[in-house]
Amino acid sequence: MNTLNSSHGLKADQGIKTYGQLKLELIQRGLYISPEILESPNVASGVCPGIPGEEVTLALTENLIVKTFLKPKDKAPMKLKVLNDKLFLNSGDGEEEEVGIIPLPVFLKDLMKHRTPLSENICLDGYCLNIFLRAVDKGEKLNMSKDHIISIVQSAFEEGAADLVQINMDYCDKKDRGFQLLAPVVESIKKKFKTFVALKGFPPQEKRTIDLIYAAGFDLLDFPLGGFAGAADAQGEILSSQQVHDSLEYAVGIFPHGTVWTELVLGPEPLDIVKKKIDQLTGRGIIPQLKLLATSIYTGKDYWRVKEVVRHLRDAAVRDRLTLKWLYPNCRCVSPLDAQYFTDDPASAQLAAKPVYRSRLGKKAFEGFVALRRKLRIKDVSDSYESAGL
């Protein structure tokens, strides 16, 4: 992992906007694209219609992406320009950075023409295909059929639009948080496609269910602390931060090193408290990611707060020797992997480590490693689906 060069830090602090600062401002302030530019094929291919407004995903540089919303000219200080057939981001202070538009795959554009429940529950985050599921009919089935899910994954892979899949499971008041419904889905995905599958959701009530989640085929696990902790179940019990911490810590003993994550939202609490939370997580082998949120009032001070936390996040990952190769670029999160984009000037910033998904050789090797480790781990799982009540 690369460490921060002090001269780079000075350059960034002297007024040159980092890629990270541009990403944060795009998330918070939006972007204006003129009708002429918006109608051009290259730009139009990346615009995603939605409610309340349209969105577009920009590649600020290799492996650093951001999804931002379109705003009227008089309300968006950041604008997209065209010069010599290249796209440039004007941040309103005279600086311009060349950027790219990430086009939507054909299958997704076709689905979004009709805005069906199917299209509203899938999206691309870089090269990760996100599928959003929830339990319906009193928790007896998912809102999407297994066949629909498999067809979406196949379409994404056939177009080369995705390299991995993330299942995002909404809150379910069942003890297993709906895992019983997800098991056949992930098993089918792994059987048909050579890919990694991530699960983002709520921790189950019984920790041994995490053994079964891994045994079913999930490779990556994300129990977010930001946005999930504090949710109430049907009995009025609160899913506390401690419960999420306990589940994450248990999962570290089941999943391979570097594949258990969580998300933190940077709120108004003192930075010392935020840093302490990060240290507690990294010290247990859990990788924190900082989720960037839009704010109702932009003050310009948010970036310096984010930057300090990101520096600490990177240093904590180095100190605790976290494996970062499983991470992948995320439109709205910052991980230790891409911390230098927030701390270094654009000329010197680079990814701390290459994600395994971007290397065919690395991907093949890790697939073999994961398959072997899973077989060995499953032998240690004493609870069967029947004995666990699933």
Task: For residue range 338-362, list pLDDT tens digits in order.
Answer: 899 998 888 777 776 667 665 554 4
Amino acid of residue 149:
I
pLDDT of residue 384: 43
245-269 mean pLDDT? 93
Q: Which amino acid appears at position 234 of this protein? A: A
Amino acid 7: pLDDT: 33
- Whether the pLDDT of residue 236 is over 60: the answer is no
∠ Cα 69 121 245 (to 5°): 90
| Two tokens, residue 285 | 């082998």
Region of residue 15 (left: phi > 0; alpha: psi -120 to 50; beta: else) = left
Residue 52 reports pLDDT greater than 60: no
Q: What is the pLDDT of residues 291-311, one digit of tens each?
A: 988 775 666 678 888 999 999
The model carries a pTM of 0.84
Residues 6+ apart with CB under 8 A from 226: 263, 264, 265, 291
- Higher pLDDT, residue 15 or 259: 259
pLDDT at site 356: 65
b or e along 153-182 (b: 16 or more beta carbons within 10 Å of the residue's beta carbon)? bebbbeeebbbbbbbbbbebbbbbbbbbbb
> Residue 301's pLDDT is what?
77
Average pLDDT, the chain: 82
CA-closest candidate to residue 278, choices 218, 327, 225: 225
Least confident of 47-51, 97-101, 229-233, 361-365: 361-365
**What's the angle, vertex CA 355, arms to CA 109 and CA 257, rounded to 5?**
120
Lowest mean pLDDT segment, chosen from 77-91, 290-304, 312-326: 290-304
Per-residue pLDDT band for 178 (boundaries 50, 70, 90) equals very high
Q: How do the domains of the chain map onto residue ranges? A: 18-101, 105-255+359-390, 261-357
Report the alpha-carbon distance of residue 31 to residue 132 in Å, rounded. Answer: 26
Instruction: Evaluate the CA torsion angle 302, 128, 63, 70 in order and state its sign.
Output: negative
Q: Residue 52, preceding bond cis, omega within 30 degrees?
A: yes
What is the distance between the alpha carbons of residues 28 and 282, in angstroms, rounded to a whole number? 28
Q: Confidence class of residue 383 from pLDDT cuts 50, 70 and 90?
A: very low
> Given this model, what pLDDT does residue 50 score?
58
More confident residue, 237 or 112: 112
- pLDDT number for residue 48: 74
pLDDT of 382 above 50: no
**Which of 13, 70, 388 is CA-nearest to residue 216?**
388
Cβ proximity of 115 and 131 under 8 Å: no
Contact predicate 22/60, CB 8 Å: yes
The token pair that represents 129 in the structure block: 């295909």
- Tell me how crowded residue 88 is: count the other CB atoms within 10 A of its CB: 15
| Structure confidence by residue, pLDDT tens digits, 123-151 | 888 889 999 999 998 888 999 999 999 99
